[in-house]
């Protein structure tokens, strides 16, 4: 075996070890969140949380979500497909998880201001589609987020007044407190009727939701 082959093989082994470590870390964080979540059921859903879908749906998908998170953006189309597949049985509850700090907080402020104007879902779509434009470094990143929001139909003056009231700060503080209590360490983290998604596979999220929907359909109605 030549030196070149040895170097290549060593690099390949190192890459495999790194990939395995990432997988095990993600699985560990999800399992840890699940264990703590079982002890913090009351912190899973709050009255202030944004909800997409019927408010009385029997299957609740809770997503600990960071608008600046690339994985959250990647999951979002599949989440919408799941809601569309079970439109009467499912609802999505979003819990803000600002792991990207300033960028995340600014986006949450925009989302909540949009929700007060009845424009939450369009604004969510706009921020995710344009995510790369406003998650960069520098002082202008926030300006780009606001410019994007305005182009998507947000009344900026009204939005800034809503934010100045302190309502968003209160909501975000509660969400941060809850995610710490539950033990969420990565985004997106999903729970379906309190059951954790134990992987980072969107298809397993679908199967978990499908199983809950089938269980609800089979259960006797009052």
| Mean pLDDT on 100-121 | 96
Residue-wise pLDDT tens digits, 51-73: 999 999 999 999 999 999 999 99
Residue position matching structure tokens 């360490």 = 185
Q: In this structure, what DSSP letter does residue 44 have?
A: S
Strands 195-196 and 51-52: unpaired
Q: How far apart are CA 56 and CA 90, in angstroms?
A: 9
Kind of pairing between the strands at 51-52 and 90-96: antiparallel
pLDDT at 14 over 80: no
Q: What is the pLDDT of residue 19?
A: 44
Determine the pLDDT at residue 175.
97
Topology given in CATH for the domain delimited by 41-218: Glutaredoxin (3.40.30)
189 phi-psi bin (left φ>0, alpha ψ -120 to 50, beta other)? beta
Nearest by Cα to 91 from 132, 66, 121, 130: 121
- Domain map (residue ranges) of the chain: 41-218
| pLDDT tens digit sequence for 128-161 | 999 999 997 666 888 999 999 999 999 999 999 9
What the block records as the tokens of 28 is: 């560990």
Which of 29-43, 119-133, 152-166 has the weakest average pLDDT? 29-43
User: 63 in helix, strand or coil?
Assistant: strand
Question: What value does the mean pLDDT take over residues 103-117?
Answer: 96
199 contacts 27 by C-beta, under 8 angstroms: yes
| CA pair distance 136, 131, nearest whole angstrom | 9
Residue 79 structure tokens: 């989440």
- What are the Cα distances from residue 110, in Å, to 22, 60, 194? 32, 24, 28
Report the C-alpha gap between 55 and 105 in whole angstroms.
26
At residue 199, the pLDDT reads: 83
Task: For residue 86, give the DSSP letter.
Answer: S
CA distance 48 to 116: 12
How many other CB atoms are found less than 10 A from the CB of residue 105?
19
Mean pLDDT of 192-201: 89
């Amino acid at each position: 075996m030549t030196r070149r082959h040895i170097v290549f093989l060593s690099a390949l082994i190192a890459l495999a070890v790194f990939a395995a470590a990432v997988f095990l870390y993600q699985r560990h964080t999800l399992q840890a969140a699940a264990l703590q979540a079982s002890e913090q059921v009351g912190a899973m859903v709050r009255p202030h949380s944004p909800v997409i879908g019927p408010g009385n749906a029997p299957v609740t998908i809770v997503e600990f979500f960071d608008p600046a998170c690339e994985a959250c953006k990647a999951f979002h189309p599949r989440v919408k497909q799941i809601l569309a597949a079970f439109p009467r049985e499912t609802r999505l509850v979003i819990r803000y998880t600002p792991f990207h700090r300033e960028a995340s907080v600014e986006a949450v402020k925009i989302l909540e201001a949009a929700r007060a104007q009845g424009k939450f879902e369009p604004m969510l779509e706009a921020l995710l589609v344009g995510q790369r434009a406003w998650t960069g470094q520098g002082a202008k990143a926030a300006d780009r987020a606001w410019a994007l929001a305005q182009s998507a139909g947000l009344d900026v003056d009204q939005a800034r007044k809503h934010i100045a009231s302190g309502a968003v700060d209160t909501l975000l503080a509660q969400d941060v407190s809850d995610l710490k209590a539950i033990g969420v360490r990565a985004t997106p983290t999903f729970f379906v009727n309190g059951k954790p998604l134990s992987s980072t596979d969107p298809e397993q999220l679908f199967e978990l939701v499908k199983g809950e929907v089938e269980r609800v359909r089979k259960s006797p109605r009052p």
